[in-house]
């Protein structure tokens, strides 16, 4: 019964969020990604059995890579948000120079949030090539987030007119 609850709960939350049109996309997308991660981790945990013993579960093979991948994706999304904040501040400075009292808003399109996910596997292959089978440490965690933040450098792609420049 508990296994059905643990698998069904993220599905129910995801369906509730999808049906809820009043929530902004910046709220819906991370919650849906979190539910997807929750579902995948629960399904894998139920398949692989109980984590008892002296080894750290996060140092075992699938979990270490999942943690590094999630941190890399978080770094990619933070880069998109950081670029949007920089553009918003520049727009606010222009409006202030023109004597207008209104403030510019963040300009984030859903495709700006989706674009890093397109290149995530390519970027992760570079990250995994650097870290390899090493243990999960503060350095590897930092490198995972940094690789995600600097994903355009890793991919070597200059996208003109995009928020992620």
Alpha helices in the chain (DSSP H): 2-19, 25-48, 61-97, 110-118, 120-131, 138-149, 151-155
CB 80 within 8 A of CB 108: yes
Q: Are residues 38 and 64 in the same domain?
A: no
Rounded distance between C-alpha atoms, residue 117 and residue 154, angstroms: 14
CA distance 20 to 37: 20
For residue 18, count other CB atoms closer than 10 A to its CB.
13
Q: Among residues 9, 34, 50, which one ends one of the domains?
A: 50
CB 163 within 8 A of CB 87: yes
Per-residue pLDDT, 136: 84
- Which pLDDT value is given to residue 7? 67
What is the reported pLDDT for 158?
44
**Domains identified in the chain, total number:** 2
Same domain, 45 and 57: no
- Give the list of residues 6+ apart from residue 145 with CB closer than 8 angstroms, or none: 71, 72, 74, 75, 78
Residues 45 and 90 in one domain: no
CA 31 to chain centre: 11
All residues at 6 or more sequence positions from 75 whose CB lies less than 8 Å from its CB, including other chains: 144, 145, 146, 147, 148, 149, 150, 151
Final residue before a domain boundary, out of 50, 71, 90: 50
Residue 165: the pLDDT is 46
pLDDT per position in the chain (165 positions), as tens? 556 666 677 777 777 777 766 767 677 777 777 777 777 777 666 666 555 565 676 677 777 888 888 898 999 889 988 888 898 899 988 988 888 878 888 888 888 888 888 888 888 888 888 888 878 888 888 888 898 888 877 676 544 444 444
| Range of the structural domain that residue 40 is part of | 1-50
My answer on whether 32 and 64 are in the same domain is no
Give the residue from 38, 41, 73, 74 showing the smallest Cα distance to 58: 41
Q: What is the pTM of this model?
A: 0.64
């Amino acid at each position: 019964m508990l296994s059905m609850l643990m698998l069904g709960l993220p599905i129910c939350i995801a369906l509730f969020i999808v049906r809820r049109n009043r929530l902004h996309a910046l709220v819906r997308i991370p919650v849906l990604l979190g539910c997807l991660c929750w579902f995948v981790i629960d399904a894998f945990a139920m398949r692989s059995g109980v984590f008892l013993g002296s080894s750290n579960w996060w140092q075992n093979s699938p979990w270490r890579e999942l943690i590094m991948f999630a941190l890399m994706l978080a770094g990619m999304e933070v880069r998109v948000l950081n670029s949007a904040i920089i553009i918003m501040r520049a727009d606010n400075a222009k409006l202030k120079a023109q004597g207008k009292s209104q403030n510019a808003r963040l300009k984030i399109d859903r495709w700006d949030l989706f674009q890093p996910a397109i290149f995530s596997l390519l970027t992760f292959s570079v990250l995994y090539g650097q870290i390899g089978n090493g243990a999960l440490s503060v350095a590897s965690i930092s490198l995972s987030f940094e690789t995600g933040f600097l994903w355009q450098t890793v991919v070597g792609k200059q996208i003109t007119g995009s928020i992620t420049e």
